[in-house]
């Protein structure tokens, strides 16, 4: 893609298959993390406090330059910085396999399942799949400038959604209106307690169009300004409204189409006049529409379908972006194909779009077993679609049957488990992690700092690191590998 850095952050659910388990999901999460770092030596644990909720040892960077850590008790994997869709899809799948392999090596795979989804049917909790896109600091980051992005994001769920059985309870959150913080109004919003199926998992939990913080007030566009790069040059668009995707195709299309829409906005070529009247309500109405007509009202009071709106964005992208590189043309071709098929039988999308794949599997089960949507088995099967265990997961069953098109390969995923992309600063960070693993013994690599008040042996962050006894080493440009600079810097360091 044209001058773009992508990244994904995925939180995983842990499903315990025991009525009275001896251990909590968080206990298993700690065991998996410790196995990855202390036994498999996949990376180095942090030896410093990253925040009040991230003490030393909570997580660390891997040899592939990504991170694994615990967030609110959940295992979370952050991919390294990637410049291509194939790299980010492979890196995303690498996180799945790293965690699943650790679970299996620990002998827990019969007791526990790792679930790559976004909801807990029992507690109504949600956990995220966050997308990151690097843009220029000149990006028009204002309500007016972001209006096309909001419209695109509200409607893209028709091919990026992972689908779910039922719906969430009304969200208890506070909404910012100009300078006031107000509770959400119940007027015009109702909870459908027995929705059979909807196309997005996260839509029910989004309560605002723009907001800075992540928890309890999730927004369509997160406004936190944390570029993790030179702030004079770059801004990071951080999105948390999307679903975790099992289908590689859906992951690539989600990131690719969003990257192109950001390019259109940057270049002043985004379609105009498509502002949605009530974006949050439209997001939820599209997800919950059982007839899949997906009609929404614009500020102009005109009604348009989500498919029509997506076609408007596609037309602009074809006109202004076609031919700029091979990945762009792949995205444009498959964006068009998916939108065409969304106008027909949803079963044409099985294997490519997660909600369609899940719906087809659930409908097949209902027909065979003569059960309705309220049967508890339906929610269990919903979760099993996202099971990372290849022998149990319903998505992996479709893959084995040859119903799922691949974007990457098993060989590339294996490489992404161990190595970083070679065209971003992740490559330099990977060299640092390997150096620390080589120089420090297995027993010392994850020991907490000594209580003598000394600086810890190392501190690693996304855009800077420091090894004890040496000056900080900034890496402000995500497009630069820093490989030779890191090697030169480390050659003079005695660890």
Q: What is the largest CA-CA distance in the chain?
A: 70
Distance CA 114, CA 109 (A): 9
Alpha-carbon torsion angle 63, 94, 243, 32, nearest 10: -70
Distance CA 471, CA 107 (A): 43
Of 13, 1, 144, the C-alpha closest to 72 is 13
Distance CA 84, CA 90 (A): 10
Residue linked to tokens 């508890």: 376
Query: Which residue in the list 34, 53, 71, 410 is annotated as catalytic?
Result: 71
Query: How many CA atoms are closer than 13 Å to the CA of 104, on its beta-carbon side?
Result: 10
Write out the DSSP string of 375-427: SHHHHHHHHHTTB--TTT-HHHHHHHTT-S--SS-HHHHHHHHH---TTSTHH
Distance CA 160, CA 6 (A): 16
Of 387, 368, 422, 361, the C-alpha closest to 90 is 422
Concerning whether 477 is annotated as a catalytic residue, the answer is: no
Bridge-partner residues for 16, per DSSP? Answer: 112
Please provide the distance, in angstroms rounded to a whole number, between the alpha carbons at the two ends of the chain: 39
Q: Token pair of 218, please?
A: 């999730």
Q: In terms of DSSP bridges, do strands 164-165 and 129-136 run parallel, antiparallel, or are they unpaired?
A: unpaired
Distance CA 58, CA 73 (A): 10
- The 3-state DSSP class for residue 330 equals helix
Distance CA 151, CA 274 (A): 7
What positions carry a catalytic annotation? 71
């Amino acid at each position: 893609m044209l001058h773009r850095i992508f990244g994904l952050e995925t939180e995983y659910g842990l499903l315990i298959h025991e009525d009275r388990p001896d251990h909590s999901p968080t206990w298993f999460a700690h065991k998996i993390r410790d196995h990855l770092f202390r036994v498999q030596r996949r990376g180095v644990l942090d030896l410093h406090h990253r925040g009040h909720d991230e003490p030393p040892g909570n997580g660390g960077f891997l040899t592939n330059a990504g991170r694994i850590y615990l967030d609110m008790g959940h295992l979370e994997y952050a991919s390294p910085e990637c410049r291509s869709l194939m790299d980010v899809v492979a890196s995303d799948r690498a996180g799945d396999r790293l965690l699943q392999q650790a679970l299996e090596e620990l002998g827990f795979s019969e007791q526990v399942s790792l679930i790559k989804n976004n909801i807990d049917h029992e507690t109504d909790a949600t956990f995220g799949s966050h997308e990151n896109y690097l843009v220029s600091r000149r990006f028009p980051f204002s309500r007016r400038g972001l209006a096309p992005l909001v419209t695109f994001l509200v409607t893209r769920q028709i091919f990026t959604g992972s689908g779910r059985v039922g719906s969430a309870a009304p969200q208890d959150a506070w909404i910012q209106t100009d300078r006031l913080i107000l509770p959400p109004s119940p007027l015009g919003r109702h909870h459908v307690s027995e929705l059979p199926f909807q196309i997005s998992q996260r839509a029910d939990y989004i309560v605002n169009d723009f907001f800075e913080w992540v928890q309890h007030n999730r927004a369509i566009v997160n406004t936190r300004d944390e570029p993790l790069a030179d702030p004079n040059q770059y801004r990071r668009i951080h999105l948390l409204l999307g679903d975790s995707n099992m289908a590689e195709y859906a992951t690539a299309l989600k990131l690719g189409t969003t990257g192109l829409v950001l390019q259109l906005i940057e270049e002043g070529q985004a379609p105009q006049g498509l502002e949605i009247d009530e974006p949050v309500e439209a997001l939820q109405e599209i997800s919950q529409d059982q007839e899949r007509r997906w009609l929404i009202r614009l500020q102009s009071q005109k009604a348009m379908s989500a498919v029509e709106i997506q076609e408007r964005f596609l037309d602009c992208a074809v006109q202004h972006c076609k031919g700029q590189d091979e990945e762009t043309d792949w995205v444009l071709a498959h964006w068009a194909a998916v939108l065409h098929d969304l106008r027909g039988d949803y079963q044409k999308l099985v294997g490519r779009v997660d909600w369609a794949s899940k719906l087809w599997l659930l409908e097949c089960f209902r027909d065979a077993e003569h059960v309705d949507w309220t049967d508890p088995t339906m929610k269990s099967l919903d979760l099993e679609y996202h099971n990372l265990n290849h022998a149990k997961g319903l998505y992996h069953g479709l893959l084995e049957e040859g119903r799922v098109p691949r974007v990457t390969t098993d060989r590339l995923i294996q490489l992404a488990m161990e190595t970083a992309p070679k065209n971003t600063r992740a490559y330099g960070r990977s060299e640092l992690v390997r150096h620390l693993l080589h120089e420090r013994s297995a027993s010392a690599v994850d020991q907490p700092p000594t209580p003598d008040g000394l600086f810890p042996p190392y501190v690693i962050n996304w855009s800077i690191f420091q090894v004890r006894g040496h000056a900080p080493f900034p890496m402000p440009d995500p497009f630069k590998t820093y490989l030779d600079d890191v090697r030169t810097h480390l050659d003079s360091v005695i660890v």
